[in-house]
Chains A and B, each alone.
Chain A
Amino acid sequence: PPANVGRAPGPPDGGWGWVVVVGAFISIGFAYAFPKGIAIFFKEIQDFFGTSYGEIAWVSSIMLATTYGAGPISSILVNRYGSRPVVIFGGLLCGIGMVSAAFCTSILQLYICVGFITGFGLALNLQPSVIIIGKYFLKRRPIANGLAMAGSPVMLCTLAPLNQFLFDNFGWRGSFLILGAILLNCCVAGALFRPIRAAPASVKPQVTEEGKDALKEEVTEEAMEMSSPTNVPMANKTEEEGGKDCCEKINQYLDFSLFKHRGFLIYLIGNVLMFLGFFAPIVFLAPYAKHIGIDEYSAAFLLSILAIVDMIARPTTGIIANSKWVRPRIQYFFSFSIAFNGTCHLLCPLASGYTGLVVYSIFFGLAFGMVCAMLFETLMDLVGAARFTSAVGLVTIAECCTILLGPPIGGTLIDTFGDYKYMFIKCGAVMVLAGSFLFIMNYYNYRMLAKEEKERKAKEEDPKSVRTENEGRNNWNKETAQDGPELEPLREEQEGLKKEVNGT
């Protein structure tokens, strides 16, 4: 029998993958841009229902909270059913939510229809799109991620004037009806997400030679264990299911063992901290501009500049992150972009007049795009594509709290001190702190991974350490908690060798 009978094919890194990127572009674009784009209708709805601005703003907050908070549910569903059905269902849910919102007669109904239902639909769009990119790409994953994430600014630039046009011609009810139909296009994006059998090898092309070799041989054992359930279960699985305890069953749906994963914890803490200062400057950029005397249209134009620079920065960052110099050290690049973002905010109060703010907007757009493009790529890099499904769900629900807290804290600072500079200083300081934390902790993580790998190599050379396949797989969960993803291809090689010895 040929030597590679036990190995599954690696991710295509192209071909249909690029079509999937287009679908993810649409899905991610709607998920991020829609809550912001809807703000155009708020004034009219506020007058119609006779509520205060605060009550209307809750619609946006509920939508954002649901999109991030429903992350784990999204992850569980993807683990169970794969990306495609979840995205199609999410698209339908969004459509239903907005269409029913068009017939609402109270603000509470709006909270439910626009906030919860549409928000939940968007959550079912966001996570699976990011996950399926990890399944289709490995070598070119940063580029794919960068391109897909570029959907957010592009959609925002499209939705803003479109919403205004719809509002002028159809009023808010008609606009919601038509927006419901537009959101159904997420179903088209979902239809493009063809299920793929093999999850890519969770390889981190690290400093070692083995890493580079593993990249060439794209093997995965995880694919057979934890990938889409359309796979025929292995013979051993029935034995395993008998021996599974409650924890493992839960972990199959949502991998809580990630909380023992060092890289995951570093990412989680760093990102939760970062999001405290991430969105507030965007929310307050236009009001700040108006505050220092710039007229409304020029202030709005600042946001357009930001969006345009963002649009270009994301794919560009993806290309840079994919280059052979940056990819092994992508975590450092990520930490650097967060710190760069923070520095922009710290320098913003020094910007005087409109020109200064334009320069700030350009740099902010650049930094924002860099961070967003690598947001999910770095997580994939740390935990590997198979566990990414659960990881992204757990991360988004943790980020949900700080995302919601960020702008109100900024707003409180502005109200208390009457000056915007404290908000910028707070955001800048938080992000520089987060960037530095991530930089230092990832340096530590890289060193620990290198050390563990050396230990593994030493063990491998010892013939007594060759275990049976079952034992190896049962120990899998415990081991992956400590090991980094780049060690898995080594183990795969080991398993492959064992199969050759044991198998046909």
Chain B
Amino acid sequence: GPDLTTQEFKQATKENMSNVTFVEYEVLLPGVPGTSMEKNITLDSATIIELSCRLDNKYSRLKRFQVTWKRGNETIRHIDKTENSWSIQLKILDSSKLGSYSCTLKGEEEISAVFYLQVPKIEGKEKPIVSYEGDSAIMICKSFGYTPIAWTWYMMNGSEQIAINDSLLADKYVINSVSANVTHLKILKLTKEDDGVYWCEAAFELGRSKGNLKLKVLSLMVPLKPFLAIVAEVVILVTIVFLYEMYSKKKEKCAEDEKEFDQAEQLKSEESNGLENSSARNRK
């Protein structure tokens, strides 16, 4: 199959590629035993990239290795960078060159590493955005570190993805880019039909990337039920407290009345005793 080698690289340098970035990535083998070494590399624009696998000094003197670089089933010719490192150089101009590239060192054991070349990931929102009928909702997508060329929003209608055209339905959808890395979709006058999954897609030179958002549209009745339940609870509790207070006041008043009655009786009997005594004295 096609051999992506340094030949193409030499050709490229002859052309005017002054605005192409050059990056290098190196992986140290064997790494953590039992796990395979993986590296995720994010590319957003045309890049010349060099991927290398280097073997730790401890091992190199002991054994001889056979090194293979592959993409899928294709073998890629590599360069011996140093005594114990091997690399390939790739010219990434479009999405066809993205994917996973692996280096394998076959000796007594087989050690390998995989490089994943991909477009930048877009962050949507994991939790659904909750809004209400008649209200509006804002959905935001961000791209971290890389600036997309364009943003597109999609809506899921059944199983189809429909692009949202904000110029066509200007009083329903407003698409805004606050900054180049951030896009806002504002949906006005929400209805139940707006409920569902939305996608924001960022277009990069090397491909497209999507972020996922969920919108939930609730009717006003939904929060109203707990609200009324709690208000009812408050009214009931306040009524109970006041009723209990009136009841205990009545009890106190009854007890006081009884006491006063007893005291009056006592006074009366004392008076009558006193009168008896005085009359007794008078008689004497």
- Chain A residues with a Cβ under 8 A of chain B: 47-48, 50, 167-171, 173-175, 177-178, 180-182, 184-185, 187-188, 191-192, 194
- The answer to whether residues A174 and B234 also contact, given A180-B227, A191-B241, A191-B242 and a CB cut-off of 8 A, is no
CB-CB contacts below 8 Å: B131-160 with A: 131-132, 135, 138, 140
Query: Which of A48, A178, A184 is within 8 Å of B223, CB to CB?
Result: A178
- A187 and B240 CA atoms in complex are apart in Å by 13
Q: Which residues of B contact A168 (CB under 8 A)?
A: 127, 130
Contact A174 B130 (CB under 8 A): yes
Q: Which residues of A contact B138 (CB under 8 A)?
A: 47-48, 50
Q: Which residues of B contact A182 (CB under 8 A)?
A: 230
Chain A interface, DSSP helix/strand/loop, else mixed = helix
Query: Which of A167, A184, A194 is within 8 Å of B234, CB to CB?
Result: A184
Contact A171 B130 (CB under 8 A): yes
Contact A181 B238 (CB under 8 A): no
Verify if B231 is at the interface (C-beta below 8 Å from A). Answer: yes
Contact B238 A188 (CB under 8 A): yes
Q: Which residues of B contact A181 (CB under 8 A)?
A: 226-228, 230-231, 234
Q: Which residues of B contact A169 (CB under 8 A)?
A: 130
- A210 and B230 CA atoms in complex are apart in Å by 52
What 1/0 flags go to B193-235 for Cβ under 8 Å of A? 0000000000000000000000000100011101110110010
Contact B132 A177 (CB under 8 A): no
Q: How many residues of B contact A (CB 8 A)?
A: 23
Contact A174 B238 (CB under 8 A): no
12 pairs, CB–CB < 8 Å, chain A vs chain B? A47-B140, A168-B130, A171-B218, A173-B131, A174-B130, A175-B223, A177-B223, A184-B230, A188-B238, A188-B241, A191-B238, A192-B241
Contact A178 B230 (CB under 8 A): yes
- Known interface pairs A171-B218, A173-B135, A174-B132; 13 further A-B residue pairs with C-beta atoms within 8 A, sorted by A's residue number: A168-B130, A170-B222, A171-B129, A171-B131, A173-B132, A173-B223, A177-B227, A178-B230, A187-B238, A188-B238, A191-B237, A191-B241, A194-B245
- A168 and B245 CA atoms in complex are apart in Å by 40
Expressed in whole angstroms, the minimum distance between the Cβ of A14 and any Cβ of chain B is 16
Closest to A168 in B: B127
- A188 and B226 CA atoms in complex are apart in Å by 18
Q: For A170, A181, A185, which residue has the most chain B Cβ atoms within 10 angstroms? A: A181
- A188 and B236 CA atoms in complex are apart in Å by 9
Contact B132 A171 (CB under 8 A): yes
Q: Which residues of B contact A185 (CB under 8 A)?
A: 230, 234, 237
- A192 and B239 CA atoms in complex are apart in Å by 11
- A185 and B129 CA atoms in complex are apart in Å by 29
Contact A178 B227 (CB under 8 A): yes
Closest to B135 in A: A173
Expressed in whole angstroms, the minimum distance between the Cβ of B55 and any Cβ of chain A is 32
Nearest 7 Cβ contacts at the A-B interface = A171-B130, A174-B223, A181-B230, A191-B241, A184-B234, A188-B237, A181-B227
- The answer to whether residues A184 and B231 also contact, given A173-B132, A177-B223 and a CB cut-off of 8 A, is yes
Contact B130 A170 (CB under 8 A): yes
Expressed in whole angstroms, the minimum distance between the Cβ of B141 and any Cβ of chain A is 12
- A330 and B223 CA atoms in complex are apart in Å by 48
Q: Which residues of B contact A50 (CB under 8 A)?
A: 138
- A274 and B218 CA atoms in complex are apart in Å by 47
- The answer to whether residues A174 and B222 also contact, given A47-B138, A168-B127, A182-B230 and a CB cut-off of 8 A, is yes
Closest to B238 in A: A191
- A182 and B131 CA atoms in complex are apart in Å by 21
Q: Which residues of A contact B129 (CB under 8 A)?
A: 171
Closest to A191 in B: B241
Q: Which residues of A contact B245 (CB under 8 A)?
A: 194
Q: Which residues of B contact A180 (CB under 8 A)?
A: 227
- A171 and B227 CA atoms in complex are apart in Å by 14
